[in-house]
Structure 1
Amino acid sequence: MLFPDVAEGVHLIQHANVNCWLLEDDDGLTLVDAGLPGTWRELVDAVNHLGHQLTNIRALVLTHAHFDHVGMARRLIRELGLPVHAHPDERELAAHPFRYDHENRIAPYPLRHPRALPGLLSMLLAGAPFTRGIHELQSLTVEARLEVPGRPRVIATPGHTYGHVALHLPERDAVISGDALVTLDPYTALRGPRLVAGAATADEDRALASLDTIAATGARHVLPGHGNPWSRGAGRAVQAARRNGMA
């Protein structure tokens, strides 16, 4: 489903409990994160609704390379020749998106949090098991502006993965937080600003420290990798995430 202009020129594609973002300016579109394989139809519909064609997408930028954020990447490379930008520490994970470090075992979560099962099932039906890795990455430079539509500033937010980044859009008063701060934990179905459960977070201490980087943007809009946008300020989102902690 498309939610246009959640911030100025920033459009949300929400599918199977995973968010992708389209940044729009006069030079075209940037796709931030690539969802799951089944998100392709949602992407095509969203781009058309915005009055564009797929060929108007100039780049894919990854906040990180977990399987639910690279699902369409291989197809985007194959069909559009799209450049893919990610932190160099994500290179190995991008090639093997199911081989990720995590602090807790995954198995107990469905038993302890049965409300999460429908969301996890939707991810399976959206093709999660069919996600394939990619090798064609261009390395992001932290604190630099990316020369892609929207010109986001890259900020380091490691912890969820070792090379996780967020994208600050100061002219749009927004920060795309990826999974460094979410408003829906897909492993527990808990809502409100928080860290993703230890089943998918590599280093809780680093993840908590990265919340300060998100707060420092001062952005009004926090745009997460899972859950609905938050428009009450990055500082308040971080305060709530610290209270809620990590499951």
Structure 2
Amino acid sequence: MELTPSLHRIGSDVVAAYLVVTPDGVTVIDAGLPGLHAELVAELASLGRTPADVRGVVLTHGDGDHLGFAERLRREHGVPVFIHAADVARAKGGAKPKNAKQRMRLGAVLGFLAYTLRKGGVKTDWLTEVVELHGGETLDLPGSPQVIPMPGHSEGSIAVFVPGVDAVFVGDALTTRHVLTGEVGPAPAPFTDEPEQALDALSALVETGATWVLPGHGAPWSGGVTAAVEAVRAAARRG
């Protein structure tokens, strides 16, 4: 799905991953579920590219529904996978989310589970080799992505700001579609380890001034980062 000529999404509003496309190659932000690999190959082909053109995968955190095809790209094409040091254990199948108590609606949960099953999410392809991030880096990858620490959803959650496409990729720092309730619009994401810390971290997103706010779950938001963050905070106040 083309958002702009240099910015593409694969997956759906349930689980998504993103491509930053430049003449020098492609940077993938998050890797969704394993079954999205076929969509990645098809999207690249539509651009006259192949997985060999992917220069790196940057993961916003280490949950299984963001790891997707990352390890496969590393194994089959030597693509480096970048993740914050504090989430490496999580991405290798170690540490688990802390916050298990969630609001939910049966229909939305069943829809999320059905999509996860269709896209191969029953078995996570855990990472084995990574490039560790610490926050504040500008990576030598297409688009020169900038790493913004966003602790809260997980200890090592990050956002990725790519100035050239006017977009900030937020992972689960916020959501525009709550996978457990089906509610749409900017809001705190479920399964967040430290909800208050996650809300506090949103201030770092505002500093980017980005037009596009791109979550791992939900529709792309093109109304500007300030409006998105204000909407998340308002949703948090409503509970």
Matches within 5 A, 1:67-146: 67-96=64-93, 99-105=95-101, 109-110=103-104, 112-146=105-139
What does residue 229 of structure 1 align with? 220
- Does the CA contact (< 8 Å) of 2:187 and 2:235 recur in 1? yes
The CA deviation at 1:152 is: 0.8
What residue ranges of structure 1 are gaps of 5+ in the alignment? Answer: none
The CA deviation at 1:154 is: 0.6
Q: Deviations over 1:196-226 (max 9, x none)?
A: 12xx111101110111111221111111111
Secondary structure of 2:185's aligned partner: strand
Backbone CA RMSD of aligned residues: 1.8
Could you tell me how far apart the structure 2 residues matched to 1:37 and 1:103 are? 24
Equivalent position to 1:245, from 217, 236, 239: 236
The CA deviation at 1:8 is: 5.5
Residue identity in the other structure for 1:144 = E
The CA deviation at 1:103 is: 2.0
What does residue 54 of structure 1 align with? 51
What does residue 29 of structure 1 align with? 26
Could you tell me how far apart the structure 2 residues matched to 1:119 and 1:101 are? 18
What does residue 147 of structure 1 align with? 140
- Does the CA contact (< 8 Å) of 1:96 and 1:132 recur in 2? no
Q: Summarize the Cα distance change of 1:7–1:154 in structure 2 as closer, same or farther, 3 Å threshold.
A: farther
Same amino acid, percent of matched pairs = 37
Q: Summarize the Cα distance change of 1:151–1:128 in structure 2 as closer, same or farther, 3 Å threshold.
A: same
The CA deviation at 1:172 is: 2.3
Secondary structure of 1:20's aligned partner: strand
Q: TM-score, normalised by structure 2?
A: 0.93
The CA deviation at 1:113 is: 4.4
What residue ranges of structure 2 are gaps of 5+ in the alignment? Answer: none
